[in-house]
A = this chain, B = another copy of it.
């Protein structure tokens, strides 16, 4: 059980725990350029399942996948001033090819709004061409100063959707539909409860009219923005002159949206479900859902045969692997746990004799002995039970640690200090937001969609601000 000892308890040092879990779970290695990551099979497999499942959902919604270039010429990015301002200090810039200087600087995409804008400009003529609903899976680059595996790296993987609509209402509706779609996906596949809401002006995407977000709570009480959907209005279409002839044959600028989730979600999985034994992967995105451990197979070669048979049979229904190494039971169990595999299936000489197997859940470590004939069905039930249990635990934690503070700024600060999500009346002024951030370390996460706010107005939570407001905002420290 050597590996287990290497994980720092999360109660002791959360960020060290996180790094240990990432490392011990055989998830990543560091790339040779500082701040870049290598996704090993255990991690990349989760991302592939996220892709597969999102692609199915996207298909149902008529979203088409495309691929746009990695490179943005300087003058194209400069067209949208707010946007370039938001990304400029983080842009990886190509100035040479081989030994030769090139004429115009080329940026590695930090996001692709301007590339899509350029494509749309040349593809749309009439309202009959609309809506266009595109998505791409891609790598993007932002030269972050401090990096953290999955959460903030200089290159990361994501999907970014980009749409054009003839009608602003349709575009606004699409923006909101996508954020709900993400919330459902995170719940149903990653067992991740989130708070859906709108970002304040300070926190919205550079170039957007409004940004919606799904915010998750990590085990240390910090928030992780887990997906966003932006209503871009005509901000890009006016700068890039993306027009269409409307039903009255008048020229109009299109209305746009963009939306995405990224490999940050792997960080969300770890910090929501992980424990002191390592990562716990939600079953529906687990590259291996069941690992078969053959125990003491050297004593009876028929155990190995049975395990091979089981691997094949169960493999038709689940993602299964087999640990047929010569390691001891303790090591094998620990190894399965540290890799976060939802379910392990143990077969030793006693099981073999009794025609049973032992199933052990990763989430609560519960064991049960199951007849061989019933194991296939039982696994399906248990995988669902694990998913539900992970979700319920996370939801309870989110609810238990979210508080409403109506008036008292000292209480507001104390709750934040206490690692809570704090919902409070807020004027939404960018300046006040900055001051609160300085005083508490917390940022506004969103104006939550589902919150039974009082009908009367409240004074803004910040004492020196005298505005009255009906808006309640979630504050938290965030990743």
Write the residues of chain A forming the contact surface with B, with a CB cutoff of 8 angstroms: 29, 31-33, 36-41, 44-45, 47-48, 64-73, 76, 88-99, 105-106, 108, 115, 118-119, 122-123, 134, 138-139, 141, 143, 154-155, 157
Q: Across the interface, do B139 and A70 meet the contact criterion of CB distance under 8 Å?
A: yes
A91-B98, A93-B97 as given contacts; A38 in contact with B65, CB under 8 Å: no
- Bound-state CA distance A412–B136 (Å) is 48
Q: Please indicate the chain B residues that have their CB under 8 angstroms from the CB of A32 in the complex.
A: 69, 71-73, 76, 115, 118
Q: Please indicate the chain B residues that have their CB under 8 angstroms from the CB of A115 in the complex.
A: 31-32, 38
How many Å from the CB of A182 to the closest CB on chain B? 21
Q: Across the interface, do A66 and B40 meet the contact criterion of CB distance under 8 Å?
A: yes
Quickly give the copy total for this chain.
2
Q: Across the interface, do A66 and B95 meet the contact criterion of CB distance under 8 Å?
A: no
- The 10 lowest CB-CB distance pairs between A and B, nearest first, are A31-B69, A36-B69, A41-B64, A39-B67, A93-B96, A89-B98, A33-B71, A97-B143, A95-B95, A92-B94
How many Å from the CB of A202 to the closest CB on chain B? 22
Q: Please indicate the chain B residues that have their CB under 8 angstroms from the CB of A31 in the complex.
A: 68-69, 71, 115
Given A32-B118, A38-B119: 15 more A-B contacts, CB < 8 Å: A31-B69, A32-B69, A32-B76, A33-B73, A40-B66, A41-B65, A47-B67, A71-B154, A92-B97, A93-B94, A93-B95, A94-B94, A95-B95, A96-B105, A97-B143
Q: Across the interface, do B29 and A44 meet the contact criterion of CB distance under 8 Å?
A: no
A93-B97, A95-B95, A97-B92 as given contacts; A41 in contact with B69, CB under 8 Å: no
Q: Please indicate the chain B residues that have their CB under 8 angstroms from the CB of A47 in the complex.
A: 67
Could you name 30 residue pairs across A and B whose Cβ atoms are closer than 8 Å? A29-B122, A29-B123, A31-B68, A31-B115, A32-B69, A33-B72, A36-B71, A38-B69, A38-B115, A39-B66, A39-B67, A40-B66, A41-B64, A41-B65, A45-B65, A47-B67, A48-B65, A67-B157, A69-B155, A70-B70, A70-B108, A70-B141, A89-B97, A90-B98, A91-B97, A92-B106, A93-B94, A94-B94, A94-B108, A138-B139
- Bound-state CA distance A70–B92 (Å) is 12
Q: Please indicate the chain B residues that have their CB under 8 angstroms from the CB of A96 in the complex.
A: 93, 95, 105
Residue in B closest to A34 when the chains form the complex, CB atoms? B73
How many Å from the CB of A86 to the closest CB on chain B? 12
Q: Please indicate the chain B residues that have their CB under 8 angstroms from the CB of A45 in the complex.
A: 64-65
How many Å from the CB of A221 to the closest CB on chain B? 31
- Bound-state CA distance A36–B139 (Å) is 16
Q: Across the interface, do A66 and B44 meet the contact criterion of CB distance under 8 Å?
A: yes
Residue in B closest to A72 when the chains form the complex, CB atoms? B32
- Bound-state CA distance A38–B68 (Å) is 5
Q: Across the interface, do A29 and B119 meet the contact criterion of CB distance under 8 Å?
A: yes
Q: Please indicate the chain B residues that have their CB under 8 angstroms from the CB of A157 in the complex.
A: 67
Report which residue of A45, A134, A141 has the largest number of chain B beta carbons within 10 angstroms of its beta carbon. A141
Report which residue of A29, A32, A97 has the largest number of chain B beta carbons within 10 angstroms of its beta carbon. A32
- Bound-state CA distance A97–B155 (Å) is 13
Q: Please indicate the chain B residues that have their CB under 8 angstroms from the CB of A94 in the complex.
A: 92-95, 108
Q: Across the interface, do A70 and B106 meet the contact criterion of CB distance under 8 Å?
A: no
A94-B108, A97-B92, A98-B90 as given contacts; A155 in contact with B70, CB under 8 Å: yes
Q: Please indicate the chain B residues that have their CB under 8 angstroms from the CB of A118 in the complex.
A: 32
Q: Please indicate the chain B residues that have their CB under 8 angstroms from the CB of A93 in the complex.
A: 94-98
Partner of A139 from the list B48, B72, B89, B139 (CB cut-off 8 Å) is B139
Report which residue of A41, A70, A141 has the largest number of chain B beta carbons within 10 angstroms of its beta carbon. A70
Q: Please indicate the chain B residues that have their CB under 8 angstroms from the CB of A134 in the complex.
A: 41
- Bound-state CA distance A67–B158 (Å) is 13
Q: Please indicate the chain B residues that have their CB under 8 angstroms from the CB of A138 in the complex.
A: 139
Q: Across the interface, do A33 and B69 meet the contact criterion of CB distance under 8 Å?
A: yes
Partner of A38 from the list B40, B44, B67 (CB cut-off 8 Å) is B67
How many Å from the CB of A166 to the closest CB on chain B? 17
